[in-house]
Chain A
Amino acid sequence: MSAPTLAPPAQPPVRPAAETRRERKRRERLEQRDAVIPVELYGLRRGTVTALTTCCVLFALFILAPVAWVIINSTKTQANIFESFGFWFASPFEFFHTFANLFRDIDGDGTYSTWFVNTVLYSVVGGVGATVLAALGGYGFARFEFRGSKVFFGIVIAGLLVPITLVAVPLYLAYAKVHLINSIWGMILPSMVTPVGLYLMRTYVELSIPRELTDAARIDGASELRIFFRIALPLMVPGLMTVLLLSVAGTWNNYILPLIIFSNNTLFPVTVGMGLWSQHAGNSGDQNLYPLIVMSGLVTIIPMVALFALLQRYWRGGLLLGSVAN
């Protein structure tokens, strides 16, 4: 059978070149503005909008107050933290001095920099691992029918019901048996298992990858692995970003698990390290630790805020599952 040798039909008119990124963003912004009617046309009673806005503002203030407190008080000396008004600055302005102290081994218990590096390690490796597992598992549950799939999925989700404090002691004993205590894998491995991530990815695959696409790929001769890597994965990216962010943030902020696993100071993440400082500061008041605690809090949240801000176009779309155009 030879390749088709037909005269091509009349050519359709050539379209203009595809738009640049800036043009696309501008067009999207304008389209969004066109898609909503102004609030005046919602048909609400007078004062509703003001009332709701006030509530939202108050709620926002409530949430942001601790963050503001941290920012402001990281600039104060220990005495001023306790004595001056919490939500405004006081002299002397000690920000840079405290910041420098952060990286010295003040207490003999370990430095902030070690803890920070540990946190980054656990979060990145655990987060990426969680994303990989959630992607594979979510795709498998969504696209394949196998015996027991519903049961397995139910068991995984049921894991969400169990609070970690309940399993703390059994977890410790089990991990001790396999020498995972005081090992970084004792922290990373549990972080790679996320029922929420699995559920998110399964739902995302169901909504975003039409069955016809996998059918077409099978008919085109692709193996299942090929279909996953070449066809499904690129389409799963927004969902993957969401799971990545949630896993990284979850591991970054995790306190209980490292508390159980680690007794060696040099392996602590920042959460446990700060807890340690807190304890010492409570016991012996003249270590000048409080400014350090506040400062470390500030420094720790910055990477997370930056990450969420940078990747917001993904997690916004990802959490709104199914609103991603295909």
Chain B
Amino acid sequence: MSAISLENLTKVFSSGVKALDGLDLDVADGEFVVLVGPSGCGKTTALRMVAGLETITAGTVSFAGRVVNDVSPRHRDVAMVFQNYALYPHLSVAENIGFALTNRNIPRRDRERRVRTAAEALGLSDLLNRKPAHLSGGQRQRVAMGRAIVREPSVFLMDEPLSNLDAKLRVQMRSEVLRVHKAIGAATLYVTHDQIEAMTMGDRVAVLLGGVLQQYATPRELYDRPANLFVAEFIGSPEMNLYEASISDDELVLGSQRVALGQASTALAPYRGRKVIAGIRPEDLGMSGAAGRAGEAAAALVADVKLVEGLGSEKHVLFAIDAPAAGASALAAAVGEAETGLLAASAHNGMARLDQGAVVRPRDRVTFRLDPGRLHFFDPDTGAAIR
């Protein structure tokens, strides 16, 4: 029996906006599940419904098999960490952390002991008498977490807790959050818009778009086998390069070039003579003879280099081929949204991640090597992955 179980969870606001459409999700005890997606995809709404702060239009939320749709947040035994911390400004850190215990009339000695333990675990022992106004962002975040863990809940909810912190602190706090999760061992639902957080922190990740679940799998699975165009583009940085192409016999026709497909062509049999969308990740493109997994791969791709970004540890090469890009427009068609903008600006450009030692300059014409087995294919109408 899973610790949290969402079945066909739907939310329609009174303005008619459908924020969540039939979400099915289950979180095992002790599992860390991340809900990720762009703004407005319904992830925060889903979290608030699990917390009991939002009414449920249809579907059920169950904790360990018990349906809690009509249970008020007070009695659900969930703890939540908010994006803006939501600390009580007129109470000290100790009182903030202990507030939930005060509400349950836990005797003072017990309460103080538990507050002290939680504070020690988070490095807050020196700050117990301070008010939130005199704390830094990171400290406030830790107080918010302390307030949640002191209750020893069965369900942990986190709503983008790290998005208000600067980049360096965010990286630090990521490991802090995971450390606390391991120690507590409660089922955790973590909401974020940052796919890096999702990939590094989650045991399983649920990708949402427009209120609809796109894919629910381990980070590895999301990266290796994205279920559709949106997941393919959303996961992985820099984004996957996507092009409109067609299949002819055993070859992929990409603009004026042909790429031999070998084994990959079996799944593509129904698409012979038709258009597909082909994707290749920047890290799966390599230079001939260069080190790295794509170095000795079979197929080749000729491209014109537009820009080279040297990062010190690697090179990002912006290139162009004569195949039409599939990113923005296909995305829009598949999900009915107009999220063009920056994607359109880089319409025909692809990105390759090369080793720092690669010899490449702007205006060069280079031959990339790629493994056809690492190509991803998507149906041009539905955006679904072709397997």
Residues of A within 8 A of B (CB): 1, 3-6, 8-12, 14-15, 18, 210, 212-213, 215-223, 226, 231, 234-235, 325-326
Given A216-B82, A218-B72, 5 extra CB contacts under 8 A: A4-B183, A8-B125, A216-B147, A218-B53, A219-B76
B255 on the A face (CB < 8 A): no
Question: Closest residue of chain B to A18, judged by CB?
Answer: B134
B contacts with A, residue count (CB < 8 A): 46
Name 24 A/B residue pairs within 8 A (Cβ), A-sorted. Answer: A1-B152, A1-B154, A3-B114, A4-B183, A8-B125, A9-B123, A14-B126, A210-B84, A212-B86, A213-B86, A215-B51, A216-B82, A217-B88, A218-B52, A218-B73, A219-B52, A219-B73, A219-B74, A219-B80, A220-B99, A220-B103, A220-B147, A222-B74, A326-B89
B308 on the A face (CB < 8 A): no
A1 to B187 CA separation, bound complex (whole angstroms): 12
Contacts of A218 in B (CB 8 A): 52-53, 72-74
Contacts of B125 in A (CB 8 A): 8, 11
Q: How far is the CB of B135 from chain A (nearest CB, A)?
A: 9
Contacts of B84 in A (CB 8 A): 210, 212
A6 to B179 CA separation, bound complex (whole angstroms): 9
Q: Mark B179-194, 1 if CB is under 8 A from A, else 0.
A: 1100111100000000
Question: Closest residue of chain A to B76, judged by CB?
Answer: A219
Question: Closest residue of chain B to A213, judged by CB?
Answer: B86
Q: Are the C-beta atoms of B78 and A219 separated by less than 8 Å?
A: yes
A216 to B157 CA separation, bound complex (whole angstroms): 12
Contact (A4, B134) CB under 8 Å given A219-B51, A219-B79, A221-B100: no
A1 to B184 CA separation, bound complex (whole angstroms): 7
Contact (A1, B123) CB under 8 Å given A18-B134, A218-B72, A231-B88: no
Set A1, A6, A11, A226: member contacting B185, Cβ < 8 A: A1
A114 to B342 CA separation, bound complex (whole angstroms): 78
A231 to B87 CA separation, bound complex (whole angstroms): 10
Q: Are the C-beta atoms of A3 and B152 separated by less than 8 Å?
A: yes
Within 8 A of A (CB), among B67-83: 72-76, 78-80, 82
Within 8 A of A (CB), among B56-75: 72-75
Contacts of A11 in B (CB 8 A): 123, 125-126
A325 to B126 CA separation, bound complex (whole angstroms): 25
A12 to B176 CA separation, bound complex (whole angstroms): 14
B351 on the A face (CB < 8 A): no
B90 on the A face (CB < 8 A): yes
B354 on the A face (CB < 8 A): no
Q: Mark B217-253, 1 if CB is under 8 A from A, else 0.
A: 0000000000000000000000000000000000000
Contacts of B72 in A (CB 8 A): 218
Q: Are the C-beta atoms of A216 and B80 separated by less than 8 Å?
A: yes
